[in-house]
Amino acid sequence: MDKLLIEGGTRLSGEIAISGAKNAALPILCAALLTKEPVTFTNVPRLNDIGTLLRLLEQMGVKVSRDADVVTLDASGVDNPVASYEMVKTMRASILVLGPLVARFGEARVSLPGGCAIGARPVDQHIKGLQAMGAEVKVEHGYVHAKVPRLKGARLFTDMVTVTGTENLMMAACLADGETVIENAAREPEVVDLANCLVAMGARISGAGGDVIRIQGVDALHGATHRVMPDRIETGTYLCAAAVTGGEVRLTGTSASYLDSVIDKLMDAGCEVTAERDAIRLKGPARLAAVSLRTSPYPAFPTDMQAQFMAINAVADGTSIIRETIFENRFMHAVELQRLGADIRIDGNTAVVKGVAKLEGATVMATDLRASASLIIAGLVAEGETTIERIYHLDRGYERLEEKLSALGARVRRLR
């Protein structure tokens, strides 16, 4: 298994381009199932998760063509509306094919994703919404089996804010008979990006980005071309890496407008942040001030940036309190950061982080995508060499990671 070796102590400086958003591209690629016409997507990040989804779509009969960051999907020949356990277990976002398959073909068999390192991650809200739209849904032998001649528009209320739940139901509603209203909808920018793509394909959607989304079902969608939005979590991750090393970077092809809560915290920590039209600049202080945070649905502080902030707080001046309210087990990076010398005490969904003067390089193990990002950030500022094992987690969500870090002056190399 690949490892990453990082020699700590360099200030990051320079300029890199941010890739397309993984969590926008995943639902958007599934939207191609909703039409028999070809759909072209640009700024699609080259990530393992994207590759996994494209293989799954191919298995269903979708014609996939890909050239660098451009992907064209043709779902006219789909003849197998099934997502097998073998595919879904490696990438739980595969559940996002469920809504489009039921909407277009009236039937779908999708393996339950199962949990992952950060939590049980059930999909009961996805199922509840489809049932409310008239689908007969059975969960047996680890598969969700949904059937309906045609979905009917309905008033849906999710018990909690769910990003992919909102996305699945919004896609399903595009071809339903009548109006669907999704209340308590997720407001994440990735939901808005998906809605913009669906509207370009002929869907009738209003309210995306708010907590009530209205969809007027239509008989068919048509082809379109859509550019995937920038990855705000990749952006935030590099901002944290620059901040903790006291560096100065410029990130292009991205926007500060999706990261208000994260940028606020970085400024509270002592960073100078300048937003340009499609770039962000950050200059870190000699030492960051500790900043407390509580994860919540957008536009509040994103759970996908929690691990990265635990890493920068580990060497900040002062004590911070981190509360994780979205997932039940998203502190696995804490024990690995402790191996580097961090002073972190975990109490349920709260972490108390006492900033230490320095971390010391060691061998650590990645456990999930964003936890591995936090270990990289810590390794960049630790004294000596840090070896991060199981970095396949990283390759799922960060495109050309060591290339981008090296371009900013980090001393990092991959060991095959």
Q: Is 131 strand, coil or helix? A: helix
CB 1 within 8 A of CB 392: yes
Q: Print the binding letters for residues 315-334 with ligand EPZ: x by CB under 6 A, - otherwise.
A: -----------xx-------
Q: Cβ(86)–Cβ(114) under 8 Å?
A: no
Query: Which is nearest to 323 in space by CA: 342, 340, 346, 357?
Result: 346
Which phi and psi angles does 383 have, rounded to 5°?
Answer: -80, 130
Number of residues this chain uses to bind ligand EPZ (CB under 6 A): 23
Our finding on whether 121 is near ligand EPZ (CB under 6 A) is yes
CA distances (Å), origin 271, targets 8, 95, 262, 276, 315:
20, 39, 11, 16, 15
Give the Å distances, CA to CA, from 408 to 48, 127, 403.
23, 45, 9
Q: Computed from CA positions of residues 391, 394, 399, 404, in that sequence, does the dihedral angle turn out positive or negative?
A: negative
Burial class of residue 321 (count of CB atoms within 10 Å of its CB; 0-12, 13-18, 19+): middle
Exactly one of 35, 48, 52, 125 binds ligand EPZ (CB under 6 A); that residue is 125
Among the listed residues 30, 116, 174, 197, the single catalytic one is: 116
CB 233 to ligand EPZ: min, Å: 6
Asked if 109 interacts with ligand EPZ (CB under 6 A), we say no
Does 393 sit near ligand EPZ (CB under 6 A)?
Answer: no
Nearest distance from residue 96's CB to ligand EPZ, in Å? 7
Complex with ligand EPZ: residue 158 or 290, whichever CB lies closer: 158
Query: Does the active-site annotation cover 30?
Result: no
Does an H or E element contain 83, and which?
A: strand 82-83
Among 38, 114, 122, 202, binds ligand EPZ (CB under 6 A): 122
Question: Hunting for tokens 């550019």 — which residue is that?
Answer: 227
The verdict on 94 binding ligand EPZ (CB under 6 A) reads no
Closer residue to ligand EPZ in complex, CB, 4/186: 186
CB of 384 to ligand EPZ, least distance (A): 29
Residues 26, 45: Cα–Cα separation, whole Å: 10
For position 369 contacting ligand EPZ by CB under 6 A, the verdict is yes
Residue 303 within binding range of ligand EPZ, rule CB under 6 A: yes
Residue 346 parent element (H or E): strand 343-347
Nearer to ligand EPZ, 258 or 382 (CB): 258
Query: Tokens in use for 176?
Result: 């339903």
Instruction: Assess contact for 97 and 83: CB atoms under 8 A.
Output: yes
x/- mask, ligand EPZ, residues 36-75, rule CB under 6 A, reads: ----------------------------------------
* Residues from 341 through 360 that contact ligand EPZ (CB under 6 A): none
Applying CB under 6 A, the span of 120-128, 130-138, 238-246, 338-346 interacting with ligand EPZ comes to 120-128
Interface region with ligand EPZ, contact rule CB under 6 A, candidates 63-71, 130-138, 157-165, 282-290: 157-165
Binding region for ligand EPZ (CB under 6 A): 22-23, 26, 93, 119, 121-126, 160, 162-165, 303-304, 326-327, 369-370, 397
Could you give the residue numbers annotated as active site? 116
